[in-house]
């Protein structure tokens, strides 16, 4: 499983670290490590358990070993716990020397052609708008939108993934698919794509973990640790990525299969 490879790659950066601070908002989760590095994850809300005292686990992560907290991405019993695991992983990724893709004129360094069918799993509207300008066709899936019953014309039915994703030349998949455990199945459906980009703040930026997979680009983010106080405050009042983007350090890393 992909998550096992991610945890293995991240372990050296986590074992001697502890979780210094955390904030679980309605839209985002933030984790600060004892070296000041910050990681974010999206809060998948649709399937969270009911009740006012069901998230008491969060009281135990402050001061805990960062690797043990990161393992919640696999061992957690709900999406809040798994999101905390992902946020811890994204914080740990900052210790690496990751060199961004040179060609920024393309979408995350990927040349989308006018003849391409592009798939997107997890609707990110600004990215979708850019892809619509370049690709022949854009196919979008979003489980949260589908579960909510909202109607967005561009979004296809979830049950059509096995039929439509194999036809895509380029696919963008959000890092939240690691939280909900669908990433491995999705990568199998996208085996015909020449480029697969794992995108968004929930993307664990460990390229070593994605070697020998069909993921070609990791397009996630680091966060300015000097903005920690303001960043955590914004997360605590239900802010989303559009509200915290001034603290974002965008990253686009090509996975090298050598």
The CA angle 27-31-35, to the nearest 5 degrees, is 155
pLDDT of residue 105: 58
pLDDT of residue 64: 98
Tell me the pLDDT tens digit for each residue of 183-238: 999 999 999 999 999 999 999 999 999 999 999 999 999 999 999 999 999 999 99
pLDDT of residue 122: 92
Fold entry, domain 117-219: Rossmann fold (3.40.50)
pLDDT of residue 150: 74
Helix H or strand E segment including 87: helix 79-92
Q: Do you know the residue count of the chain?
A: 258
Query: Can you give the residue ranges of every domain in the chain?
Result: 2-96+223-247, 117-219
d(CA 203, CA 195): 16
Tell me the pLDDT tens digit for each residue of 137-194: 999 999 887 777 777 788 899 999 999 999 999 999 999 999 999 999 999 999 999 9
Fold entry, domain 2-96+223-247: Enolase-like; domain 1 (3.30.390)
CA 69 remoteness from chain centre: 17
pLDDT of residue 165: 97
Q: Is pLDDT of 104 > 70?
A: no
Name the one residue in this structure whose structure tokens are 């680091």: 222
């Amino acid at each position: 499983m992909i998550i096992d490879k991610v945890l293995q790659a991240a372990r050296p950066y986590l074992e001697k670290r502890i979780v210094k601070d955390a904030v679980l908002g309605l839209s985002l989760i933030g984790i600060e490590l004892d070296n000041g590095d910050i990681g974010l994850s999206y809060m998948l809300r649709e399937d969270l358990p009911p009740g006012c005292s069901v998230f008491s686990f969060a009281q135990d992560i402050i001061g805990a070993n960062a690797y043990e907290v990161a393992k919640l991405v696999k061992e957690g019993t709900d999406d809040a716990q798994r999101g905390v695991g992902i946020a811890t992983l994204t914080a740990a990724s900052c210790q690496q020397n990751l060199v961004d893709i040179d060609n920024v004129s393309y979408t995350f360094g990927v040349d989308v052609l006018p003849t391409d069918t592009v798939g997107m799993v997890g609707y990110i509207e600004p990215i979708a708008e850019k892809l619509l300008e370049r690709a022949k066709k854009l196919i979008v899936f979003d489980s949260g939108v589908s579960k909510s019953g909202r109607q967005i014309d561009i979004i296809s039915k979830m049950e059509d993934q096995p039929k439509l994703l194999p036809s895509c030349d380029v696919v963008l998949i959000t890092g939240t698919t690691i939280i909900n455990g669908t990433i491995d199945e999705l990568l199998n459906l996208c085996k015909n794509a020449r480029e697969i980009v794992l995108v968004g703040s929930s993307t664990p930026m460990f390229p070593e973990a994605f070697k020998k997979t069909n993921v070609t680009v990791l397009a996630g983010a680091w966060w300015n640790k000097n903005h920690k106080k303001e960043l955590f405050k914004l997360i605590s009042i239900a802010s989303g990525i559009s509200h915290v983007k001034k603290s974002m350090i965008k990253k686009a890393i090509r996975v090298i299969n050598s």
